[in-house]
Amino acid sequence: MKGASQLVAMLPWLAFGHLIPFLQLSISLAKAGFRISFLSTPKNIQRLPKLPQDLTSHITFVELPLPRVDGLDQAAEATVDLPTLADDLLKKAYDLLLPHFHHFVARESPIFIVHDLVTHWTAEIARQFGVPRVLFSIYSAAPIAFVGLGESLSVDQLRKHWPTPESLTSPPPWIPFRSTVAFLPHEGEMMHGMFTTDASGISLAQRVVSAVDGCEAMVLRSCAEYEGEYLDVLKKYPKPVIPIGLLQPEKCETDPTAGDWGSIFRWLDGKAPRSVVFVVFGSECKLRKNEVYEIAHGLELSELDFLWALRRPEWAMDDSEALPTGFEARTKGRGIVHLGWAPQLEILAHQAIGGSMFHAGWGTIIETVQYGHPLVVLPFANVQGLDARLAVEKGLAVEVEREKDGKFHREAITKALRWAVIEDEGEGLRLRSREMMAIFSDRGLHERYLSKFVEFLKGYRTK
């Protein structure tokens, strides 16, 4: 495999929870000797982290202009740019990238296309040009096993497996061991929407089936040391299912102590080890006013020190409306709320951090456990609930209790925080998190996983 024969095309969905893992995989493959074309929209490419200097000649960013769609803000190129979780119009614009990608494949002749779960239209192009495809799922194995990507897959089969929202609230029969990984009632209502057609006239279920159909392999950001039993379920899939390790993120190259963060890190320096809760729900999580306020009141009632990285909500006219009246004054000295971006890895690495509360996204679980912190999980969207239950199942997390309709209250926030950080009953949780730190932070282990995928790519063309 030399020269142009080594080009791999990477095509992620337009969400930074997908773009970043695809970039991490691109970097890893570039280190293994492949040339990478990373395809996305101009604005998204501009917002990605900078590449390591020694890899800039190995990874090329290919800008695909996002077509205009009526009703979609012209400045919106990723889910983070949307005011709500509804992304139908963005999916429609994404689907209209097909001719641009067609032109790219015709011109560059990649040896492989690595694509996302929603990118159903790569199948048509791959068949036309005879380019093999690899499906990269940025999710852990448990949600994929739960959905049922087994021996065969069709939309009709998915409907049969999941006929009602209630059916999603119990582990499926093909999980042969005791499992708590299932959706809560309010999540089941949301996830059953996968059978509803979107603005492109296609359902999420159809997207997934088309993305899976005909790919040469499925790769997962996972490892057997964490969820081996769920990976075993996926062995029924007729194509190779390759765990590639956890793709641990690197700390940012910019100075984390610049600007306001200098004083915040000095504040952390003055706190006792493992005494501060780090609260972060990311830029993609669209919290309602009552949800932000309940989290705030829960933090206040917990009497724990905390650092909360909060993106100013769309509903807040200014910074003062983002939090309950008087909250910052009442928690002064033991709590800081920073509105905007946060150097998340540097914060998690600080000795003062004793736990983290977040939405249970798989990427943030990886980031947090690699530093040995117990998790307080409060899932909101997609398969976060499944990853939350898996983390609880593995003894790494406590989940904030919710009512049947999905509402949560400040008392539940307080209870979960204190359990994870200071209560005697939570000591096992804290010990287990520190034990799993050895696995999640073992870069050698995860590089060995990735090498299996590299062997697959190189061996595929030599068969």
Average pLDDT by stretches of 10, the chain with 463 residues: 68 95 96 96 95 92 96 93 86 96 96 94 92 95 86 80 93 94 93 90 90 90 97 89 90 66 94 96 87 96 96 80 92 92 93 96 95 96 94 97 95 97 95 96 95 92 53
Query: Which segments of 311-445 are extended strands (E)?
Result: 335-339, 353-358, 375-377, 397-399
* Separation of alpha carbons 312 and 320, rounded Å: 10
Q: State the virtual CA torsion across 144, 145, 146, 151 in degrees, nearest 10.
A: 110
pLDDT value of position 260: 78
Beta bridge mates, 278? 307, 356
Which amino acids are annotated catalytic?
A: 18, 116
Which pair of structure tokens corresponds to residue 143? Answer: 């949600």
- Beta-bridge partners for 305: 276
The b-or-e profile of 9-37 (16+ CB within 10 A means b, else e) is: bbbbbbbbbbbbbbbbbbbbbbebebbbb
Residue 251 pLDDT: 64
Whole-structure pTM value: 0.92
How far is 26 from 219, CA to CA, in rounded Å?
Answer: 13
Which residues 6+ apart lie within 8 Å of 294 measured at CB?
Answer: 408, 409, 410, 413
Please give the Cα distance from 338 to 267 (Å, whole number).
13
Q: What is the pLDDT of residue 7?
A: 95
